[in-house]
A and B are shown apart, each in its own frame.
Chain A
Amino acid sequence: QQQVKQSPQSLIVQKGGIPIINCAYENTAFDYFPWYQQFPGKGPALLIAIRPDVSEKKEGRFTISFNKSAKQFSLHIMDSQPGDSATYFCAANYGGSQGNLIFGKGTKLSVKP
């Protein structure tokens, strides 16, 4: 119940394509769902986040779609660029005041020129 399941494990797209990364959860106590981008040797960088009372959020080329009834959420990257090549992690915040993030296992994205 504490898990966040992320797929696919890896993804290759052409420049300009729209990679989609999916995550699913079981625990309805999760109340905040961020996405992080991580480059090799660096810490994760917060990209975009959503709360369960919202079905979609856009920030620049990044969009989160959230389906509360299905307990699923996904990240779409519009007009992907080679510089977007990185590992992406979905996460879920557990415990309200505790602020404990549960991470998915990550998706390694490669955007070909």
Chain B
Amino acid sequence: DAGVTQSPTHLIKTRGQHVTLRCSPISGHKSVSWYQQVLGQGPQFIFQYYEKEERGRGNFPDRFSARQFPNYSSELNVNALLLGDSALYLCASSFGPPGEQYFGPGTRLTVT
């Protein structure tokens, strides 16, 4: 079975630009969470979606937004990129909101 997939793998953007990251959960999983991992740190929670509804939001500015589609895939959008947004963005899926979370390989975003 395919695991969590994310696209693109790598991305380079300029300050002020906008970026969209995509995630496909494990088949049958209805919950998707997004995390930001800065080099040398643990992942930090950004959003959680379950059945297309936002269930949780971490301490991130309004420049970050997300949504979940009817097929349970998800997008993370970041507007007005800052240098500090450079990080590995991870998507995790689980069957239900409090379940075991399985991570994708991440999207490495570099903002120059």
Interface residues, chain A, CB within 8 Å of chain B? 6, 31-32, 34, 36, 42-46, 49, 89, 91, 93, 95-106
**Cβ of B105 and Cβ of A103 under 8 Å apart?**
no
8 Å CB contact of B100 from A46, A98, A103: A46
CB neighbours (8 Å) of A6 from chain B are 42
**Cβ of A36 and Cβ of B98 under 8 Å apart?**
no
Given A99-B33, A99-B94, are A42 and B105 neighbors across the interface (CB < 8 Å)?
yes
Interface residues, chain B, CB within 8 Å of chain A? 4, 31, 33, 35, 40-45, 48, 50, 55-56, 58, 90, 92, 94, 96-106
Given A43-B90, A44-B90, are A100 and B58 neighbors across the interface (CB < 8 Å)?
yes
**Cβ of B97 and Cβ of A97 under 8 Å apart?**
yes
CB neighbours (8 Å) of B97 from chain A are 97-99
**Cβ of B48 and Cβ of A98 under 8 Å apart?**
yes
8 Å CB contact of B42 from A42, A45, A96, A104: A104
**Please, how many angstroms separate the alpha-carbon atoms of A24 and B106 in the complex?**
27
CB neighbours (8 Å) of B44 from chain A are 103
**Cβ of A43 and Cβ of B104 under 8 Å apart?**
yes
Most A CB within 10 A of own CB, among B50, B96, B100, B104:
B100
**Cβ of B94 and Cβ of A36 under 8 Å apart?**
no
**Cβ of A99 and Cβ of B98 under 8 Å apart?**
yes
